[in-house]
Amino acid sequence: MAGDQGDQTTASTRRRYRHIDKFLDKPGPSTDPDFVPGTPTIANLEQSRVLVIGAGGLGCEILKNLAMSGFRDIHVIDMDTIDVSNLNRQFLFRKDDVGMSKAEVAAASVMKRCKDVKITPFNGKIQDKDEDFYMQFKIIICGLDSIEARRWINATLVSMVDMGNPESLKPLVDGGTEGFKGQARVILPSLTSCIECQLDMHAPRAAVPLCTLATIPRQPEHCIEWAKIIAWEEHRRDTVLDNDDPEHITWLYQKALNRAKEFNIPGVTYQMTQGVVKNIIPAIASTNAIIAAACCNEAFKLATSCNPNLSNYMMYTGDDSIYTFTFEHEQKPDCPVCGNLAKTIVVNPNDTLQQFIESLGERPEAQLKKPTLRTESTSLYFQSPPSLEEQTRPNLAKRLGELVSDGEEIGVSDPAFTIDFKFKLVFQS
């Protein structure tokens, strides 16, 4: 009797996924040569362990889609808690959930509706997990709102690749949205173009002149930038600013709020402070739904081989009309993550080291905010510890032509990333 009930439960579960089985029960004109229709592929789909990074607007859509696409073993990680402002588009959350962990609430919400799906939540930072954690997954899907976090997981997955162990290569499906625009991309670490190769497609925010921040702020964002750049340096320079530390964000918020009151500027909020400091990208529910669908479609194809996966970048715009464009972004040999050559940067030899360091935060191909620089023979500038910063500080006022030679390579590190960057400085003629 118990066996009959188990068979009935299994049959009932499979009926829920009959729309999926139509793609897996027989081969099609584009299926992979290794594709095996029927039970083996369905079992492989159900057993594929998938990690979703981010349980916000995009992450909620991704979790829902994966659960309804036949994936049974899903893990989700997010360090944020639910804010009332999330409720307009992050549909897995309710008013009573405000203040609770996004990952835990999202997992429970999906499992309540899809009882045959197991979702394991992790409330924390992706940087707190080691390589063994990421090695257990077959596919990793990013629904992040931070360029820095994308760069970190990208570098980590590339560093995990062991050419003698095919299981060490973890496909990364990355989705991102900004207003009515979005993109989905498939990255095979070390084999295809990675996020760092494509970094110049995500230009940093236009810099606000320091004099504006220091003397005549006009917008709430200016007050927040002032707190981050000037106030933090004056009051807490011995502490490295952690964009993910609530205490640090709260300190910046209070400083920015006081600054805004001083200049009668309304609009500074804790959420805006997070957005400015972490460079969080705004989201719209319909764009999230489209990009999440594209990401889950790619994960489904990677898990089943029922169709070729995206190669390798899809752009979407929905402001004037609905438009998509797919192209293959090429791997760059001078990529600091997956390449083996130093990236060439053209510089003015008369610029000071201070000016060059500031430019690294603005250059689309670098976007480094607290870089430490060194050549093969000498240290140019250290951000920390304080003793080394003080020792190398005089170099900030020196011209690049005094410190390095034309065509010389420098090493650059940044506390936000696990890798070192190599740049070849070529002087303007």
**79-86 contacts at long range (C-beta below 8 A, 24 or more positions apart):** 79/123, 79/124, 79/125, 79/244, 80/55, 80/56, 83/271, 85/271, 86/56, 86/57
Active site (annotated) includes residue 60 = no
Tell me the C-alpha to C-alpha distance, in Å, between residue 177 and each of 85, 148, 281, 286, 382.
Answer: 17, 15, 7, 10, 35
Q: How many CB atoms lie within 10 A of CB 93?
A: 22
Q: Which amino acid is at 179?
A: G
Rounded to whole angstroms, how far apart are CA atoms 81 and 100? 5
Rounded to whole angstroms, how far apart are CA atoms 197 and 336? 8
Q: How many CB atoms lie within 10 A of CB 21?
A: 16
Rounded to whole angstroms, how far apart are CA atoms 190 and 204? 25
Rounded to whole angstroms, how far apart are CA atoms 178 and 284? 8
Q: Which of 60, 114, 197, 211 is catalytic?
A: 211
Q: How many CB atoms lie within 10 A of CB 155?
A: 20
Closest CA to 175 of 291, 324, 56, 315: 291
Question: What is the helix (H) or strand (E) element at residue 79, kind and residue range?
Answer: none
Q: Per the structure block, which two tokens stand in for 113?
A: 């509706």
Q: Per the structure block, which two tokens stand in for 420?
A: 């070192």
* Catalytically active residues, by annotation: 211
